[in-house]
Structure 1
Amino acid sequence: MSNIIYIGYEFKVSPLQPGVEILIAELGYAGFESFVETETGATAYIQKEAWHDAILEEIQILDSDEFEISYSFNEIEQTNWNEEWEKNFNPIVVDDICAVRAPFHNKFDTEFDIIIEPKMSFGTGHHETTHMMIQHVLKNDFTNKSVLDMGCGTGVLAILAEMKGAQPIDAVDYDNWCYLNSLENVERNNCKHISVIEGDASVLENKKYDIIIANINRNILLQDMEAYVSCLNKKGMMFLSGFYNDDIPVIRAICEKHLLKFEEKLERNHWVALKFLN
């Protein structure tokens, strides 16, 4: 694979909260795909081929009188990413049940221990949406359920689903780097029932699942909801995240249009993760 060039933006935000959450949400809508929160704001990454000079014109918070935001940016090659994660990636523990750590961290005394080498992929557990989706997986029965992890990033949710007894599992991401990273992480965690697929919603044709996990962003969820619903089995569960609390009405509207029943909401720093039943 040829080296993909990313543009990295370093944002300083004041006041920090909820400024950072709003900023990351808007950057996600604009096409940024990976984020690291910092002591002074956030670092955001977008592939150079998806970047354009006016990319920040879509970010409304930059024009807000409520926040002071400054930024700088530069090109970053993927080969630099591992070293950056080793410096910045701290392990996390979700509800004292599930640990997500890098290979260079010591093992935790938890029921589930997931080893992730995140590289440029989104989904380490640090972001609120991944954290809440882990909580949803922990709280629900995945035994012998067929599962789709759509927009799998590092593959962390698919890996946890297998640890919870799910099989078979499809982990799908359109980004080649996420695809390759998920393959590595699936092997690293000795998973036997996960198929990693590179692609978008078009790869779901003629597939069926008991559970769908989709932690992407609002725009893609709205665009691809019909495809998700068409491959969800009767009495199936769907978990959605990657969007802000203010986005719930439009997400619920399209889900209810497709006869999905809202079941539960988790909220963390203004981000939400919703559960629906078919």
Structure 2
Amino acid sequence: MNYIEVDLQADSDFTEILMAELGEIGFESFVETDEGLLAYIQENDFSENRMNELIGKYQDLTTIAISWKSLERKNWNEEWEKSYEPIEVGDQVRVRATFHDPDPSFTYDLLIQPKMSFGTGHHETTWLVMNEQLSLPHQGLSVMDVGCGTGILTILAYKLGAVKMLGFDIDEWAVENTRENFEMNDLPEEAEVFMGTIKDVPASRMFGGILANINRNILLSEIPKYVKHLEPGGWLVTSGFYETDQRDIENCALENGLKKVRSNTRNQWATVVFEKL
């Protein structure tokens, strides 16, 4: 499936507002630029009418120039090799591409070669989740990665001691890429990934930890389902939403038998860690 890249040239005061609005209509990832914002959405989910309606809401407040194009698979790898720099989470985790030399000063060396730009570690929410993983128990646990993207969070879970890993995503590129990244990082054959949603996970499958870096609406809908797959005392890491949405996420989790452990923010994005009582 191809992605649409939308280029919005707008005043910087409106960047965060536009990202929030676009997230509500299915956009998955954003890159801030000097001129405004690049936003990415699956081609099947893109609607020119919805875009025009959104821009129309702000036409009396500011000037927004907009254009878009379809991105094929080859475009991602070309841009990736031109611009990607390794990502560092503290002094423990380093995420790099195959064309970067390893740095032995980091405890965890993660290799990825994505077929798209999402889940590379550059986005604040991916960084936030990896940072939380470093403080959570993984040794001997089964861990589920909801909306796995490149598989980067599952790979870190394995390196932190998880013994059974299950990831899934609705995008075929993500599933294909995750399998390749699993192989590059020497994950065992028991590490599973499939194309689908939480509804496709067998009811009997239980996990000591769940990673859910999705978005506000999906989390609010699916947290009750995650809880059913979470062992007592198990942890759930949620991210993919703004600070302004954090209270809604926390209330939903509390209503479903979870206890808040801690939270963190980075550039207005948030993550919250919960524990099942």
Q: Deviations over 1:165-215 (max 9, x none)?
A: 001010111111111110111111111142112111112232110101000
> Counterpart of 2:148?
152
Distance 1:189 1:110 in 2: 15
- Asked if 2 retains the 8 angstrom alpha-carbon contact of 1:14 and 1:68, the reply is yes
Q: Taking structure 2 as the reference length, what is the TM-score of the superposition?
A: 0.92
1:26 aligns with 2:24: no
Q: How does 1:1-278 map to 2 (within 5 A)?
A: 4-15=1-12, 19-56=14-51, 59=54, 63=58, 68-108=63-103, 109-120=105-116, 122-192=118-188, 193-206=190-203, 207-278=205-276
Task: Report the CA distance between 1:84 and its aligned residue.
Answer: 1.1
Runs of 4+ in 1 over 4 A off after TM superposition: 57-62, 64-68
Q: Deviations over 1:133-190 (max 9, x none)?
A: 0001111121111100101100000000000000101011111111111011111111
Q: Answer with 220-229 or 53-62: which moved more.
A: 53-62
Q: Which amino acid aligns with 2:268?
A: H
Task: Report the CA distance between 1:33 and its aligned residue.
Answer: 2.2
Q: Which runs of 5+ in 1 are unaligned?
A: none
Distance 2:18 2:115 in 1: 22
- Asked if 2 retains the 8 angstrom alpha-carbon contact of 1:129 and 1:215, the reply is yes
Q: Deviations over 1:196-254 (max 9, x none)?
A: 12111112232110101000001111111121111000011000000001111211111
Q: Deviations over 1:103-160 (max 9, x none)?
A: 1122123101111112215211111100000001111121111100101100000000
- Asked if 2 retains the 8 angstrom alpha-carbon contact of 1:145 and 1:166, the reply is yes
- Does the residue aligned with 2:121 lie in a helix, a strand or coil? coil
- Asked if 1 retains the 8 angstrom alpha-carbon contact of 2:55 and 2:64, the reply is no
- Asked if 2 retains the 8 angstrom alpha-carbon contact of 1:121 and 1:181, the reply is no
Task: Report the CA distance between 1:67 and its aligned residue.
Answer: 5.9
Percent identity of the aligned residues?
Answer: 40
Instruction: Classify 1:64/1:130 alpha carbon distance in 2 versus 1 (closer, same or farther; 3 Å).
Output: farther
- How many residues end up aligned between the 2 structures? 273
Q: Which amino acid aligns with 1:115?
A: L
Q: Which amino acid aligns with 1:208?
A: M
Q: Taking structure 1 as the reference length, what is the TM-score of the superposition?
A: 0.91
Task: Report the CA distance between 1:82 and its aligned residue.
Answer: 0.5
Root mean square deviation of aligned Cα: 2.0
- Asked if 1 retains the 8 angstrom alpha-carbon contact of 2:31 and 2:37, the reply is yes
